[in-house]
Amino acid sequence: MFTGIIEELGTLASIEPRGDGARLRVACKLVVEDALEGASIAVNGVCLTALDIGAEGFSADIAPETMRRTSLGDLAQGARVNLERPVQAGGRLGGHVVQGHVDGTGVFEELAALGNGNWWLRIRVPEALDRYIVEKGSIAIDGISLTVAAIADGVMSVTIIPHTYSHTSLGAHQPGARVNLETDILAKYVEKLFASRD
């Protein structure tokens, strides 16, 4: 389990296709300090199993399902990626409950300056995910825990504060880029419980 509070910006050192999947290598320092082989590390919000861990980074295999459902396959060597270690039992939950199980991808539409280092981010969301997104609810975009400011006509908007802008990869996206979305797990459980009453 993760919190959506990004700990480090890593760099994609390489991504090597392997059949319908891939193996990537991430250059980083902080998130590998206490990582053991097989540990979970979220990369742009995708929970991956860390392999070949060293002081300068780690590798991870990407399954075909993960390639289909996330934007990891869109990344090129040198891309900046958001990294987070799993939350420790007894630690603070600074964002919200993020599983690292991406529901799908949205389309980056616009990042508009609001002044004083704040930004207004607009993401077009897939129709299948729209029902799980509510104003003032939580959403993970590329693994970043954010609060939904508005949702209308299939477009979700969030405010990005200066710290989030400078400590994540959001500023590197161009319009049309895909971003990973994970909706609040509680909404999906509630939907299933109500559906079972019919």
Q: Which of 113, 147, 163, 166 is catalytic?
A: 147
Contact status, residue 59 vs residue 23, Cβ threshold 8 Å = yes
**Which one of the listed residues 11, 40, 157, 159 is annotated catalytic?**
40
Catalytic pick among 11, 27, 39, 49: 49
Q: Is 147 a catalytic residue?
A: yes
Q: Is 3 among the residues known to form the active site?
A: no
Given 11, 13, 39, 101, which residue is catalytic?
Answer: 101
Residue 196 annotated as catalytic: no
Does 39 qualify as catalytic in the annotation? no
Q: Catalytic residue at 40? A: yes
Instruction: Please tell me whether residue 165 adopts helix, strand or coil conformation.
Output: helix
Catalytic residue status for 183:
no
Active site residue 47: yes
User: Which among 13, 27, 39, 63 is annotated as catalytic?
Assistant: 63
- Give first-to-last CA distance, the chain, whole Å: 32
Q: Which entry of 2, 108, 140, 145 is annotated as an active-site residue?
A: 2
List of E strands, the chain: 8-18, 21-27, 40-43, 46-49, 51-54, 57-62, 80-84, 104-115, 118-124, 138-141, 144-152, 155-160, 178-183
Residue 25 to residues 36, 39, 141, Cα–Cα distance (Å): 16, 15, 21
Would you name the residues annotated as active-site residues?
Answer: 2, 40, 47, 49, 63, 101, 147
